[in-house]
Amino acid sequence: MLPHAVAWHSMEIPTERGYGGGYMSNAPSRYPQKRYPMPLTDTAIKKAKPSVKPYKLTDGGGLYLLVTGTGRYWRYNYRFGGKFKTLALGTYPDVSLGRAREKHADARRQWADGIDPGALKRAAKVRAAECAANSFEAVARSWFAKAYADKAQTTRDKTLTRLEQDVFPWIGARPVSEIKAPDVLEVIRRIEQRGALDIARRVFNYISRTLRYADSHGMVDRDVSASIDLSLVLTQRETRHHAAITSPQAVGGLMRAIDGFTGGFVTLCALKLSALTFVRPGELRHAEWEEFDLDGGTWSIPGRKMKMDNDHIVPLSAQALAILRELHNLTGRGRYVFPSERGGSRSMSENTVNGALRRLGFTKDEMTAHGFRAVARTLLDEELGFRPDFIEHQLAHAVKDPNGRAYNRTAHLGERRKMMQAWADYLDKLKAGADVIPLRGKTAA
């Protein structure tokens, strides 16, 4: 802090320079000056009354507080290049007297070094604006807007929430061109430390895709995440599968329990269709009536709703069609097959099916909504003997055919239709308590 001269604020100093080279008040002023002994004090500032006609309280060296009817503003008057200039230093009380003096001293040092502090401040604002436009957060939001434009709103919300909670607070404000591999690793390891390995992998994918997006637009020299082998970074842990009942006898008990469900009709239908179609819970609760061809017996799920981003066809058994036709009388006028119980335009809550299973007495360690997929995968193979590739295609897993071609939504559709009907019939027999003879080796090759 530079020393303050001992003088009265209204005194005229017969020189262009005050202490340390600051411009003093000998230049004509637009504002009248109050008489306070230097240096200024917080008490003097607090006593300054707002006025329709602005006035200033000087602190020496060109620093003063401009008092108006709307606020109190720190200003620094100086000359540079033969021109009279004013630099704004902030608003009181956000900028305290002490802080104003520090900023004033910094500006005077710049002036003494032949630098125009006002021009330097403007240049800093330009650089800050450029950095903000090319910050990791700005680039990530631009990538997100394009990559997730056609995704389901819940998917968009979850992805954006992960970015806002796990990425932006740490590297969001930094220019994307300055992001290095260690910065990415720091973000990922922070998530790993709380045991959220799946989220860590997803977040790494978001960061990597953002950096590839930046690379394709010439914002970075290269995608630094490409050099990171995530398998060597994250702690490996045993895979935990979704809880599911897979013995035929227990599945029969599950189906009888579902038949006896006393909750809402829409929830009952969701339980039954979870078992009959074994789609992912999110795909079921976001099902829309326009996706169904009840006459043709198919449900066509668009890729934007699927985990693998591929369109998917679910052949519908006679039992599934009967449930859907009955449900259509209740919800068919709306968008969603399973609308929220709270009304409006939202779909069923992600906790509805799991909540219904809990009401039926099944704990989260026994059975989950996602567990219906494991039930079908196990029994279609081990009890009914269907080919694994038929099953995997119906589960919408990324399966390649013998020729190496990627997933095709219509692959084995005829055989899958037979499989889905056989599955529905099998569940009915288990529910009835009948002894079911395994059909291994008798399905179409």
Give the residue numbers annotated as catalytic, written as ranges: 280, 307, 370, 373, 397, 407
Dist CA 275 CA 263 (whole Å): 17
CB count in 10 Å sphere of residue 307: 14
Q: Are the C-beta atoms of residues 20 and 4 closer than 8 Å to each other?
A: no
Most distant CA pair in the chain, distance: 111
Of 154, 189, 310, which Cα lies nearest the Cα of 207? 189
Of 246, 273, 241, 279, which Cα lies nearest the Cα of 258? 273
Dist CA 381 CA 331 (whole Å): 35
Of 391, 386, 426, which Cα lies nearest the Cα of 411? 391
Dist CA 225 CA 81 (whole Å): 49
The whole-angstrom distance between residue 423's C-alpha and the CA centroid of its chain comes to 38
Please identify which residue in the block is written with the tokens 């339980």: 271
Q: Give φ, ψ of 369 to 5 degrees.
A: -60, -40
Give the sheet arrangement for strand 312-315, strand by strand: 292-293, 298-301, 312-315
* Cα 282 to Cα 115, 120, 138, 351, distances in angstroms: 61, 54, 29, 10
- Identify the three-state secondary structure at position 49: coil
Give the sheet arrangement for strand 55-60, strand by strand: 55-60, 63-67, 72-80, 83-92
Burial 395-430 (b: 16+ CB within 10 A, else e): bbeebeeeeeeebebebbeebbbebbbbbbebbebb
* Cα 302 to Cα 33, 151, 206, 309, 316, distances in angstroms: 72, 10, 22, 8, 16
CB count in 10 Å sphere of residue 329: 8
Please identify which residue in the block is written with the tokens 């990171």: 228
Bridge partners (DSSP) of residue 65 are 57, 74
Bridge partners (DSSP) of residue 90 are 74
Pairing relationship of beta strands 292-293 and 83-92 according to DSSP bridges: unpaired
Q: What is the DSSP letter of 56?
A: E
